[in-house]
Structures are given as C-alpha cells and as structure tokens.
Amino acid sequence: MNSIITGWLFLRTVVFYLGYIALTGWFTITGLLFFSYLPLSIRGPYLITWNKWILVWLRLSCGVRYNIVGNIPDGHYVVMSKHQSQWETFYLQYAFFPVGVVLKRELLNMPFFGWALRLMEPIAIDRSNPKAALRYIQEEGVKRLQQGKRVLIFPEGTRTPPGQKGTYARSGANIAISAGAPVVPVAHNAGECWPARKFIKSPGLVTVIIGEPIPSTDTNSRELTSTVSHWIESQMLSISQAPTPPASENGPQPV
C-alpha cells in the first residue's frame, strides 16, 4: 500500500513540475519580450502573477493548500521569515510585493527561473565573499526601504527541516535599525508539504502566521534578532507537525 501511495504522489509531483516548467517559461519569455524595458512598478505586478499561479497549480496537482493567519501590514519594513522550502519564496514575494528578496546570486543564472527572478530586482549576494555580501545586503536593503519598498530575508540563511532551528543572522535586524523600519516576522510549516531537497510534494495544509510589526527603535541588532527568533520559533511549536529534536541535536479558511 505504501508503494502505491508513493507512486501516486510521485505522479502528482511530475504533473506539478510539468505545469511549473510551462508557467515559468511563459512568464519569463513574455516578461522579457514585453515588460523588461518597463520599470518594476509596471512589470512587477505582471511577473508576480507567476508566483500566484505556481501556488494555484500546486494546489490543483498536489493538494497543497494554505491558510493565512494575520494581515499584511501597510508601509515598508523588513520581512524575516522561517525558511523550510521553496514554497515560501513564491508566497512571500507575492504577498509582500513590492519586495526585494535576499538570495544567492547563483539562482539568477538558472535558465528561465533565474531570468524571471532577475527581472524582479532581488538583492543577490555572492556567498563566496561573506564580508562583501553583508555590506551589500546592508546597503541595498536600506536603499529599498528608503524607496518605500520592503525587504524579505530568511535569517537562517538556508532551508532547515521541519522541527529544526537554524542560526538566525542579524543582517535583517541591522537593515531595519539603520532604516528606522520595523520587522514583520513570519512563521510557517511549508517544509512538511514541500520538503527541501526532496522531489515528492505531499498534500496538506500550509499554515502561515504573519506577526505584528516589531519596532526597531531603542534596541540593537542582537536583541531584535532574538525577539524575532523567539516569536517565530514559538509559533512553529503550534503549527508544525514534525517532532522537535532534543536541544543537543539542534545546531480563516484554507485557500
């Protein structure tokens, strides 16, 4: 029976990726042909529709639904989110648009997918030079906030399996403090349906909790990062279905 279920999930995932490739190709080609010469304020709303349709197709093909708890605040701020999978990169860029997402530069060189990302003007960093990357994140992040945009950063740096916690970097807090902008924390359990570095997608409900803005005044980056980390991880305890490893092992309606 398990092999039948696995085979069925595998087939559904194949169908998803066929649609994923088609949607990515369509929005990349049309974006390059008709919108690349236009400012982000015009091309962005069209290109970000790609993210929405990826999530719609994922629900139809693999049965991955999502439920949002909380509201998207107005204004500009730094979004600091849990990072478990690729799912949240699609949802958060769509939900918090206009937003500059911090990501590794290598992603921009991927055919079609990377080309589409480049059109969204992300904050792409070279991870082989950590000091230069930190300076670039700081400079570009503050600049985006001053332009009235938002900045999306995954403080754990890489995807962590459900039930685990990574080390929270202070770069997001530094940006918020330098720009005098608040931080909006986000918790979710997307890795339980779209696990990192695994092919098969599992049907289920992704719960996304959007917190109230946390002021960046009268604090420092260490304290602000600790506050954000504590909020996110405490929310994870209520939504994650994965067992939490021992400390010694740790390094509305469905849509």
CATH code of residue 69 = 3.40.1130.10
What's the confidence (pLDDT) of residue 97?
94
Token pair, residue 155, equals: 């403080």
Domains of the chain: total: 1
Distance (Å, whole) CA 89 – CA 155: 13
Distance (Å, whole) CA 111 – CA 115: 6
For the whole model, what pTM was predicted? 0.89
Between 119-133, 148-162, 186-200, 220-234, the lowest mean confidence (pLDDT) is in 119-133
What's the confidence (pLDDT) of residue 242?
58
**Apex 178 CA angle, 107 and 69, nearest 5:** 65
Average the pLDDT over 18-40 and give the result. Answer: 92
Q: Is residue 44 part of a domain?
A: no
What's the confidence (pLDDT) of residue 1?
55
Which of 217, 215, 194 is closest to 204 using CA atoms? 194
Q: Is residue 53 part of a domain?
A: no
Average the pLDDT over 142-167 and give the result. Answer: 93
Give me the phi and psi of 195, to 5 degrees please.
-70, 145
Q: Is residue 117 part of a domain?
A: yes
Which contiguous run of DSSP H or E holds residue 150?
strand 150-153
Token pair, residue 24, equals: 């990515």
Whether omega for the bond prior to residue 98 falls within 30 degrees of 0, making it cis, is yes
Average the pLDDT over 196-204 and give the result. Answer: 94
Q: Is residue 112 part of a domain?
A: yes
Which of 130, 137, 146, 155 is closest to 79 using CA atoms? 155
Q: Is residue 88 part of a domain?
A: yes
DSSP state of 233: H
Helix axes 40-62, 2-34, angle to 10 degrees: 160
Domain limits for position 202: 64-249
Token pair, residue 113, equals: 């997918």
Enumerate residues 6+ apart whose C-beta is below 8 A from 43.
31, 35, 36, 119
DSSP state of 216: -
Token pair, residue 66, equals: 């999502």
What's the confidence (pLDDT) of residue 194?
96
Which of 32, 53, 52, 54 is closest to 43 using CA atoms? 32
Q: Is residue 58 part of a domain?
A: no
Which of 120, 125, 148, 154 is closest to 137 using CA atoms? 125
pLDDT digits (tens, 9 = 90+) for 107-139: 888 888 888 888 888 898 887 888 888 899 999
Answer for the pair 174, 138: CB distance below 8 angstroms, yes or no: yes
Answer for the pair 169, 157: CB distance below 8 angstroms, yes or no: yes
What's the confidence (pLDDT) of residue 114?
85
Q: Is residue 238 part of a domain?
A: yes
Q: Is residue 158 part of a domain?
A: yes
